[in-house]
A = this chain, B = another copy of it.
Amino acid sequence: MSHVGAFAGFHADLAAVRREASGDRRYAAVLSLGTPSLERGAKLKNDDPPGVRAVFALDPRLQQDTLPIGDFPLCRLLLSNDSNYPWFILVPRREDISEIFQLGVADQQQLWQESTALAQLLKDLFDADKMNVAALGNVVSQLHMHVIVRKREDAAWPAPVWGKYPAKPYTAEQVAAIHERLRRVLTEDFTFVEG
C-alpha cells in the first residue's frame, strides 16, 4: 500500500494547503481550532490501528451497488457500478453517522477537503462539463458523498442522475481502465484496495 506523491493537476491553493499540512504539521490547521472534539477527528490516518478501522462497516446497499477503489485518510472511495457516468462515492470511515454535521469538526473539514479535491481531479481527468457533489442519503442512511462527473452528452443531462436510468454495470476491462486513470492522479494520501 503506497502513500506517495501528490494529486497531479491539483488546484494550487489546495496543494499548498496539503503541503503545509504534511508531516508533523499535518493537522496543525485543524487542531488550531482547538475544540475538544478534534481529538476524535484527528484520527484520520490510513495507518490507524486495526481496532479503529474495524469499527467501519459499509452499508450492504452501497457494497452491492459499487466497486471499491481505495481509501483517502477519512473516506472510502467507491465507484458506482453504473457506466452511464463516472460516478464516485466517498464514505467517511466512521460509525453511525448519517448527517455531515454529526461528524467531528476535523472530520467535517477532511470530508470537504477530500470531496473538493476529488471533484477537481475528476473534472480534469474525465473532462467534465460539471461536477455534481451531493450528500442525500434518503435510501442509504450511512453518510456518503456523491461526486459525479457530468457531461452535456450523458444519458441524464441536465437532470440529476439518481433514479434516471437503470445502472449499466462496468465490464472488468472498463473498471481496470478507470483504476489505471485514477492511479495516475490519486497518489497522495490515497491507498488503492489492491495495494
Contact = CB atoms under 8 A, between A and B. Distances in A.
Interface of A: 11-14, 16-17, 20-21, 28-29, 32-37, 98-101, 104-105, 108-109, 112, 115-117, 119-120, 123, 130-139, 141, 150, 157-160, 162-163
A98 B34 CA distance: 32
B105 A14 contact: yes
A134 B135 contact: yes
Interface of A is mostly: mixed
Total identical chains: 2
A39 to B, nearest CB: 11
B133 A100 contact: yes
A155 B50 CA distance: 44
A101 B14 contact: yes
A138 B158 contact: yes
Given A33-B29, A34-B20, A105-B13, A132 B136 contact: yes
Q: Which one of A14, A160, A163 has the highest number of Cβ atoms from chain B below 10 Å of its Cβ?
A: A160
B28 A32 contact: yes
A124 B47 CA distance: 36
25 contacts: A11-B101, A12-B37, A13-B35, A16-B36, A17-B105, A20-B35, A99-B119, A99-B131, A101-B120, A101-B123, A108-B116, A109-B109, A109-B112, A130-B136, A130-B138, A132-B134, A132-B136, A132-B138, A138-B157, A138-B158, A138-B160, A139-B158, A160-B160, A160-B162, A160-B163
Nearest to A119: B101
Contacts of A37: 12-13, 16
A2 B131 CA distance: 36
Contact of A17 (B33, B138, B157): B33
A157 B139 CA distance: 9
Contacts of A34: 20
A133 B130 contact: no
